[in-house]
Structure 1
Amino acid sequence: MTQLKIPATYMRGGTSKGVFFALNDLPADAQTPGEVRDALLLRVIGSPDPYGKHTDGMGGATSSTSKTVILSKSEKADHDVDYLFGQVAIDKPFIDWSGNCGNLTAAVGAFGISNGLVDKSRLPTNGIAQVRIWQVNIQKTIIAHVPMVDGAVRETGDFELDGVTFPAAEVQVDFVDPADGEGDMFPTGNLVDTLDVPGIGSLSVTMINAGIPTIFLNADEIGYQGTELQEAINGDEKALAMFETIRAHGALKMGLIDDIEQAQMRQHTPKVAFVAGPQAYISSSGKAIAQTNIDLLVRALSMGKLHHAMMGTAAVAIGTAAAIPGTLVNLAAGGGERESVIFGHPSGTLKVGAQAHQYNGRWQVNKVSMSRSARVLMEGWVRVPNAIS
């Protein structure tokens, strides 16, 4: 049996990494959505893997590293790159196309420039290139500010990002009009709702569509402090089952699914996160985080497990909710009006800025900004057994 040989780039973006493809480099029958494309990308990553290791693929067997990206020149006016993201399940033959990856967004601009997807007239020889990204999954605009040196993307630098071991060049990412494309920013019309979850109880929640649909809980209502690291939750099957039950019932109340069983086929969205007021803690790297250096604590789950840092899209939701007085996120940060927030996550801290305003009684956020970094790890060809196509 021969193997397909497909041009690909393995990239880190923020605290995630994934396999990047130019659309026209994929086999012809995988250039359109469908079973062939999904089967190909599953095999690239090495899923489904009942061993949970991705030994026979490019995945890293975590939600942060089981990711695929397909890019092309944009068909959208006033945009440079079309960006499609697929979150690959580890132990199931399933790719979730329902949301974005905010971390990998930081790498999209660099890939687009290096692979000729951005018109050269828009690229400075030295300075910052503004790459206009059309996020296909959620139908939203994102601007990546990519540093350039001598006509090429600059990847190395001294910008440090908690959750990433080594410094790199800073890439500012602006999420324009980040309310998710699936409905109102607050799908129930309320900043805080009561969510009745069978077997768990009635919980106060903020449910928001911004960056990615997210359900925010108060840490103390579910028995946590907000300082937890991965091992405190990911090894607790009872806790993971509780979070998945909350996520499923929240998805139903947000109108993202019509039946509770559909949550199993929508693993990437919505996210579940819990918040608490600022407290000192020791991050997963051993770094001491002082109470005075953060506004609040946030812990978020992705694909059924506590994330080692923070998903970029969830950070957009955090920044948006923090800017709107009365949400659980805003209250955990001390309440009132604010244009930025610094939150503590398992790997350290992150600052995210957002400006909120009311228009005809509805909250709107024009832009959410944060800094990430990105780097090419490997480029060449990925090989896939030919029987897939």
Structure 2
Amino acid sequence: MPQRPQLRILATYMRGGTSKGVFFRLADLPEAARQPGAARDALLLRVIGSPDPYAKHTDGMGGATSSTSKCVIISPSSRPDHDVDYLYGQVSIDSAFVDWSGNCGNLSSAVGPFAITKGMLDASKLPRDGRATVRIWQANIGKTIIAHVPMADGEVQEDGDFELDGVTFPSAEIPLEFLDPADEGEGGAMFPTGQLVDTLEVPGLGRIEATLINAGIPTVFVRAADIGCSGSELQPAINGDPARLALFEALRTAGALRMGLIRDPAEAATRQHTPKVAFVAPSADYLASSGKPIAAADIDLLARALSMGKLHHAMMGTAAVALATAASVPGTLVSEAAGGGARTAVTFGHPSGSMRVGAEAEQVNGQWQVRRALMSRSARILMEGSVRVPAGTLGD
């Protein structure tokens, strides 16, 4: 077999919030991968190292978890009043599948720093010191994100004292605004059924009450007690129990059907990224995965969420937006767990610690709407250069 050199593609490996991903400029991708389709998906799968039946990603850049099997493509924005377009691909670990159905709220924090570092913004409009405002068009869901990126001496500031539970070292804080985050495009409303609480018929669980919401990312919220959980579980308690994971997938499928995201249960397997499933409970003392004690008095409620079929080690940024939005609407299961009443921010306990997120919701003509959600993350470049994939990856 004749030797063919590997393809070399400019790329940057970045942490954003509690996730990591491989970032590309659209113009740096091979021509065949600059548009959606099989060639692009094949490239990103090979970059990450999927599908991997060993679930290790030994031969790729992925980390064999939903938080670390991600790719991002950035381009100059095609939208008025925006700086860059941001396209996110969630790469499956064990199957040849890239899910483009949603956003990654954590990696959203890395988009602004990447764009500035790569010279994709007008340098004359960037402050030498202070915070640069980067308007991002989230192309997967058609929404605007505003990132406030710290600058020092004309460069992105990465060092800082902002601590984020789930991330080992402190970094500079990056406030994010998610404008009009409700995903009316799928389901037609923030609450797609028109109800704050629905009853789902779930095989293996029976009738379960749930709050179904399209905000940040489509999410199915249930009470922890209704599914035999306390709300203070850490990853081993869920991810080491195949039968329980199967029940969560059945719950996710039932929610997706009721939300109109899929037409039949078989479609759930081809839509792994959305909807998310989360369970909530009133606040309680517990120990985070790091051993850090979390006091009930310091949080409003407990929350746990699953991503790509496994309990997340912290909380997905987009699911945090969904949670904050649901918490701001009296009558949802999330509001109930937080003690009820109207609120504009919520602090919740997750497996790695706690997190505060804000949301501004209001009723307009009898329909709930959310104008924006707010949270702070951090980001850092881990490595930059070229990623290599075997020749023939794109099918040429």
Give the alignment's TM-score, normalised by structure 2.
0.98
Separation in structure 1 between the aligned mates of residue 73 and residue 31 of structure 2, nearest angstrom = 14
SS in 2 for 1:298: strand
Q: Which residue is 2:65 aligned to?
A: 62
Matches within 5 A, 1:128-207: 128-180=131-183, 181-182=185-186, 183-207=188-212
Separation in structure 1 between the aligned mates of residue 124 and residue 142 of structure 2, nearest angstrom = 25
Output one character per residue of 1:89-115: Cα deviation in whole Å (capped at 9) or x when no partner.
000000000000000000000001111
Separation in structure 1 between the aligned mates of residue 375 and residue 29 of structure 2, nearest angstrom = 32
Q: Which residue is 2:314 aligned to?
A: 309
Structure 2: gaps spanning 5 or more residues: none
Q: Which residue is 1:237 aligned to?
A: 242
1:351 paired with 2:346, answer: no
1:321 paired with 2:340, answer: no
1:295 paired with 2:300, answer: yes
Separation in structure 1 between the aligned mates of residue 120 and residue 330 of structure 2, nearest angstrom = 41
Separation in structure 2 between the aligned mates of residue 382 and residue 198 of structure 1, nearest angstrom = 44
**Aligned partner of 1:211: which letter?**
G
Farther-moved stretch of structure 1 (347-356 vs 191-200)? 191-200
* TM-fit CA distance, 1:347: 0.1
Structure 1: gaps spanning 5 or more residues: none
1:264 paired with 2:269, answer: yes
1:49 paired with 2:26, answer: no
* TM-fit CA distance, 1:150: 1.0
SS in 1 for 2:392: helix
**Does the 8 A contact of 1:295 with 1:342 survive in 2?**
yes
* TM-fit CA distance, 1:122: 2.7
* TM-fit CA distance, 1:249: 1.1
Which of structure 1's runs of 4+ aligned residues deviate more than 4 A? Answer: none
Separation in structure 2 between the aligned mates of residue 98 and residue 7 of structure 1, nearest angstrom = 25
Matches within 5 A, 1:247-258: 247-258=252-263
Separation in structure 2 between the aligned mates of residue 249 and residue 30 of structure 1, nearest angstrom = 34
Separation in structure 1 between the aligned mates of residue 253 and residue 191 of structure 2, nearest angstrom = 17
| Count, aligned residues | 389
SS in 1 for 2:385: strand
**Aligned partner of 1:17: which letter?**
K
Output one character per residue of 1:313-358: Cα deviation in whole Å (capped at 9) or x when no partner.
0000011000011100011000001010000000000000111110
Separation in structure 1 between the aligned mates of residue 154 and residue 20 of structure 2, nearest angstrom = 25
**Aligned partner of 1:3: which letter?**
Q
Aligned mate of 2:342, from 337, 351, 359: 337
Aligned mate of 1:388, from 386, 389, 393: 393
Q: Which residue is 1:218 aligned to?
A: 223
**Does the 8 A contact of 1:80 with 1:119 survive in 2?**
no
Q: Which residue is 2:95 aligned to?
A: 92
Separation in structure 2 between the aligned mates of residue 108 and residue 334 of structure 1, nearest angstrom = 35
Separation in structure 2 between the aligned mates of residue 118 and residue 241 of structure 1, nearest angstrom = 45
1:40 paired with 2:43, answer: yes
Separation in structure 1 between the aligned mates of residue 256 and residue 250 of structure 2, nearest angstrom = 10
Aligned mate of 2:251, from 243, 246, 270: 246
Percent identity at matched positions?
Answer: 69
